[in-house]
Amino acid sequence: MSSPSLHLYLLSTRLIGEMTSNIVIIGASYSGLPAAHYLLKHAPESWTITLINPSTNFYFNPAAPRALVEQSILGKNNADLFIPFLPKLEKHGSRFTFLHGKASAVDTNSKTVTVALHGGKGETGVTYDHLIIASGANTSGGTGKEWGFKHARDGNTEEIVANTRAAVKAAKKIVVSGAGATGVEFAGEIKDFYGAEKEVLIISSSEELLPQVPRTDVGASARKILTKIGVKVKTGVKVVEERPATKGVEGVVELVLSNGEVLSADLHIATWGIYPNTSFLAKDLLDSAGWINMDEYMRVRGTQNVWAIGDVTHWGNRKLTTVDGQWAVAMQNILSSINGGGEEVFKKYVHSDELLMAVPMGRRFANAVVFIKGWKLWGVIGWLLKGRTYMIEAARPVAEGIVTSGRVKI
Ligand SMILES: Cc1cc2nc3c(=O)[nH]c(=O)nc-3n(C[C@H](O)[C@H](O)[C@H](O)COP(=O)(O)OP(=O)(O)OC[C@H]3O[C@@H](n4cnc5c(N)ncnc54)[C@H](O)[C@@H]3O)c2cc1C
């Protein structure tokens, strides 16, 4: 190359380099993964995407209550439940970068995210023009243990799911504490699969199961189904302490209840307690419980070009249906912003706390309760919607960026 053309080449690559802008996404689940696919498709070619996540698999956690009990739902090589998401994203070539690890800090002044790389491989930093926080929430398991109801903190979800399934298999007497949808489904799945082999007790601090449902007859129906299949139900009482069983007592743990009763069990799985994955953010971006403070345009309050979607936001009603509505508004507004628009063209997010819930308790036809926008529907609908296959067929299209969890085309 002659020197004037080399000069031109260097100048043009420098200009292209300077013109490239980067969107960083923290979290690759129902919020972050569709965002990466959507922006790679719809943002101008000069925009690159950097995705940060502790694992390279998409985990279809709604099926966890069954996957933690029986292997068959995971498919061959677990491939129906843990789906590698990189192959489809890497097709975008140099516009896409994956950082395998966890965001450990965000500096909104220098617009930099610090990432602790997976496997103790040190730290790196990445700058952003726009940042999307989609780091979600985890269940604390009451005592801080991870059971696999959500992606694991360090990306080893597959191992944790296998360990829980093995622990369930080995235990004879199992106590599930927490009677939200997760606890009710899980107790039902264990008893339905193992039958008389296992003694299963569900404990709820509320007077009725499924306390988040505003109609107690829904929880009462769940109690009836669980009782019918042989699950014991204890309500209006809490587990206040879990301790190793004293010598000579049958079982591995002792559970002290708020009414003074002490129970022994081989396995206690707490399904209550949810906490936000926001430890890498400055406290002034969070509400008092640690969720991200949002404005109606899906921007993080007090920042510039920082957005958040899904469970991690302060909005609540942490469900896939909620994620989808937030995702759609955030995507439109980010694109508008990239194209030079502002609040005058932004869409507003309107939050709804309306519940849509299908709670199966095992595989059997009609052993389910359904509550949709104030209506209690027939159990058979719960079986059709969820209990039959646990919606596992919906996992791959999300993992591969075809649709969102609410089946919106990407
Ligand atoms: C057992 C169970 C069953 C459920 N079933 C249903 C159902 O049937 N229907 C329904 O509507 N909802 C259901 N939900 C709720 C649903 O799972 C959540 O609404 C959904 O997972 C939220 O998606 P998200 O992408 O916002 O966050 P998450 O799914 O929590 O994903 C966050 C992602 O960010 C990653 N991450 C976390 N911290 C960092 C970090 N520091 N750096 C980088 N990445 C990070 C995580 O590894 C993960 O990949 C269920 C929840 C549970 C627990």
> Position 223: which residue type?
R
152 Cβ closer than 6 Å to some ligand 1 atom? no
Please give the distance, rounded to the nearest whole angstrom, from the Cα atom of residue 318 to the centre of ligand 1.
9
On whether both 294 and 222 belong to a single domain, the answer is no
Residue ending a domain, among 272, 299, 328, is: 272
291 Cβ closer than 6 Å to some ligand 1 atom? no
Please give the distance, rounded to the nearest whole angstrom, from the Cα atom of residue 66 to the centre of ligand 1.
17
CA angle 395, 386, 80 (to 5 degrees): 30
Domain membership flag for residue 409:
no
On whether both 234 and 334 belong to a single domain, the answer is no
Strand order of the β-sheet with 123-127 is 123-127, 112-117, 96-107, 47-53, 21-26, 130-133, 306-308
On whether both 127 and 227 belong to a single domain, the answer is no
On whether both 247 and 301 belong to a single domain, the answer is no
Domain membership flag for residue 387:
no
Q: What pLDDT shows up at residue 143? A: 67
- State which of 25, 31, 33 you would mutate to test the pocket of ligand 1, scoring each by most atoms of that ligand within 8 A of its C-beta: 31
On whether both 35 and 121 belong to a single domain, the answer is yes
On whether both 258 and 306 belong to a single domain, the answer is no
Q: What pLDDT shows up at residue 73? A: 79
Domain membership flag for residue 41:
yes
Residue ending a domain, among 351, 369, 399, is: 351
Please give the distance, rounded to the nearest whole angstrom, from the Cα atom of residue 134 to the centre of ligand 1.
9
**Residue 192 belongs to domain spanning:** 142-272
On whether both 28 and 97 belong to a single domain, the answer is yes
Please give the distance, rounded to the nearest whole angstrom, from the Cα atom of residue 32 to the centre of ligand 1.
10
pLDDT 10s digits, 189-202: 999 999 999 999 99
34 Cβ closer than 6 Å to some ligand 1 atom? no
CA angle 85, 87, 93 (to 5 degrees): 120
Q: What pLDDT shows up at residue 11? A: 38
Residue ending a domain, among 272, 302, 336, is: 272
137 Cβ closer than 6 Å to some ligand 1 atom? yes
Domain membership flag for residue 32:
yes
| Residues with Cβ within 8 Å of residue 257, at least 6 apart in sequence | 203, 237, 238, 239, 240, 263
On whether both 111 and 196 belong to a single domain, the answer is no
On whether both 169 and 222 belong to a single domain, the answer is yes
On whether both 10 and 109 belong to a single domain, the answer is yes
pLDDT 10s digits, 228-259: 999 999 999 999 999 987 766 667 899 999 99
On whether both 18 and 100 belong to a single domain, the answer is yes
| Whole-model pTM over 0.85 | yes
The mean pLDDT value for 216-234 works out to 97
Please give the distance, rounded to the nearest whole angstrom, from the Cα atom of residue 314 to the centre of ligand 1.
14
Q: Check whether 116 has a pLDDT greater than 90.
A: yes
Cα distance between residue 273 and residue 256, in whole Å: 18
Cα distance between residue 328 and residue 322, in whole Å: 10
280 Cβ closer than 6 Å to some ligand 1 atom? yes
The mean pLDDT value for 78-85 works out to 90
392 Cβ closer than 6 Å to some ligand 1 atom? no
189 Cβ closer than 6 Å to some ligand 1 atom? no
- What CATH code is carried by the domain that includes residue 196? 3.50.50.60
Report long-range pairs for 206-211 (Cβ below 8 Å, ≥24 apart). Answer: 206/179, 206/235, 206/236, 207/235, 207/236, 208/235, 209/179, 209/184, 209/233, 209/235, 210/179, 210/180, 210/181, 210/184, 210/357, 210/359, 210/369, 210/371, 211/179, 211/180
Please give the distance, rounded to the nearest whole angstrom, from the Cα atom of residue 136 to the centre of ligand 1.
5
Number of independent structural domains in the chain: 2
Domain membership flag for residue 410:
no
Question: Would you mind telling me the total number of residues written for the chain in this entry?
Answer: 410
User: pLDDT band at 278, cuts 50/70/90?
Assistant: very high
